[in-house]
Amino acid sequence: MYDPLATKKEQEEIEQAKDIVIQAITETMDIYGAAPSVGRLYATMYFVDKPITLDEMKDMLEMSKPSMSTGVRALQENGMVNRIWEKGSRKNKYSAEKDFFKSFISFYCKRWEREYKENLQAISESLAVLKTIIDDETCDEAMREEARQYYNQIEDSKRYYHWLERLVDSFYSHEIFQFIPKDKE
């Protein structure tokens, strides 16, 4: 048998090693718009290999169950946590997505999609209004020129949104990894 005191010391060192990473993930989770406690929830779950219940989360973070419920839902919506079906258990179980590539794609593509969809929709409506003014030859020329200027600026921005669309596609299709490989060659 090993020295129980040394064993305890090393157990603490493992916890410490884990905590260093948990702390860093928690810190950088603000990039993903997560409140600190939600960041900590994800970081904590990242080191739990089996799916866990809301009650286990609440015990780990020493927080309330509703907080875990809303927190885990937020993470789920970002694709950072998955719900796992476990036979025999009627409790919902969740596990952290350990593949950061997946989380990245899920998180950013969702936002980028919203960005280009909402803006392209607005652009289409806006350009239609401006076009009627530009095409109206009875209209004041200075005003038509102003309309043309806005028209061109807005029209030009479509270039970015369509690029964003292709960027999203390349992530969803994983084609991006042909250009920027997961492993450095």
Q: Determine if 172 is a binding residue for a copy of itself (CB under 8 A).
A: no
Closest to DNA by CB, 63 or 176: 63
Q: Does position 137 bind a copy of itself by CB under 8 A?
A: no
For the chain, the farthest-separated pair of C-alpha atoms sits apart, in whole angstroms, at 97
Task: Give which of a copy of itself, DNA, none residue 92 binds (C-beta under 5 to 8 Å, depending on kind).
Answer: DNA
In the list a copy of itself, DNA, none, the entry touching 148 (Cβ below 5 to 8 angstroms by class) is none
How far apart are the C-alpha atoms of 29 and 42, rounded to whole Å?
9
Pick what 87 binds: a copy of itself, DNA, none; C-beta below 5 to 8 Å, kind-dependent.
none
Sequence-separated (6 or more) residues with CB below 8 Å from residue 61: 37, 40, 41, 44, 67, 68
Q: Does residue 80 touch DNA according to CB under 7 A?
A: no
Q: Which residues contact 88 (CB under 8 A, 6 or more apart)?
A: none
Contact pick of 18, 58, 73, 93 for a copy of itself (by CB under 8 A): 18
Contact 72, 52 (CB under 8 A): no
Q: Residue 129, interface with a copy of itself (CB under 8 A)?
A: yes
Q: With binding defined as CB under 7 A, does residue 73 bind DNA?
A: yes
Interface ranges with a copy of itself (CB under 8 A): 2, 6-7, 10-11, 13-14, 16-18, 20-21, 23-25, 27-28, 31, 33, 47, 49, 98, 100-101, 104, 111-112, 114-115, 118-119, 121-123, 125-127, 129-130, 132-133, 136, 138-140, 143, 146-147, 149-150, 153-154, 157, 159-164, 166-167, 170, 176, 178-184
Interface ranges with DNA (CB under 7 A): 35-38, 53-55, 63-67, 69-73, 90-92
